[in-house]
């Protein structure tokens, strides 16, 4: 159950640039994001929260799953777990998550020449 737990935002890189690429600049916030991961074998519930907003996805590693973007749009994508990293392709970016020194490190990479790599480090609470 390496991922299971509750985490709070510790640091992030390229957040504003990432939101700009996605066209979500109005989503910019200074709130501390709390991420809660419930893991039961290969089944996950992944929830991110700030005051007045929650975004959650349920998925099973090794299967194509119906997921939601930050804005609530639904899409289907396979979810994999390789070398300790969860990986899934969102419509506008590739998402990975791993545990590094008991911290949840999430990376989102947008494609293309002007691609942005957004990294969020979360400490366990």
Longest dimension (CA), the chain: 38
Round to whole Å and give the CA distance between 85 and 29.
Answer: 27
pLDDT of residue 5: 96
Q: Where are the domains of the chain?
A: 5-124
Round to whole Å and give the CA distance between 56 and 37.
Answer: 10
62-69, long-range: CB < 8 A, 24+ apart: none
Q: Give yes or no for residue 1 having a pLDDT over 80.
A: no
Average pLDDT over residues 74-87: 96
Kindly indicate whether the domain formed by 5-124 is annotated with CATH number 2.170.130.10: no
Query: What are the tens digits of pLDDT across the range 52-64?
Result: 888 899 999 999 9
pLDDT of residue 32: 81
Name the band, by pLDDT with cuts 50, 70 and 90, for residue 72: confident
Cut 0.85: pTM above it: yes
Query: What are the tens digits of pLDDT across the range 9-45?
Result: 999 999 888 988 888 777 656 678 899 999 999 999 9
pLDDT of residue 28: 59
The answer to whether residues 45 and 58 touch, using CB atoms and an 8 Å cutoff, is yes
- Pick the closest to residue 1 from 40, 36, 31, 29 (CA basis): 40
């Amino acid at each position: 159950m390496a991922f299971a737990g509750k985490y709070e935002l510790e640091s992030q890189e390229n957040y504003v640039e990432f939101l700009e690429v996605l066209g979500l600049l109005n989503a910019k916030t200074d709130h501390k994001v709390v991420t809660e991961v419930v893991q039961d074998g290969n089944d996950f519930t992944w929830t991110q929260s700030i005051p007045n907003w929650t975004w959650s996805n349920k998925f099973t590693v090794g299967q194509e799953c119906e997921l939601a973007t930050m804005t609530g749009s639904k899409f289907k994508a396979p979810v994999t777990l390789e070398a300790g990293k969860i990986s899934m392709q969102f419509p506008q970016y590739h998402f990975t998550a791993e545990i590094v020194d008991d911290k949840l490190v999430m990376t989102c990479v947008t494609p293309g020449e002007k691609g942005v790599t957004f990294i969020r480090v979360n400490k366990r609470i």
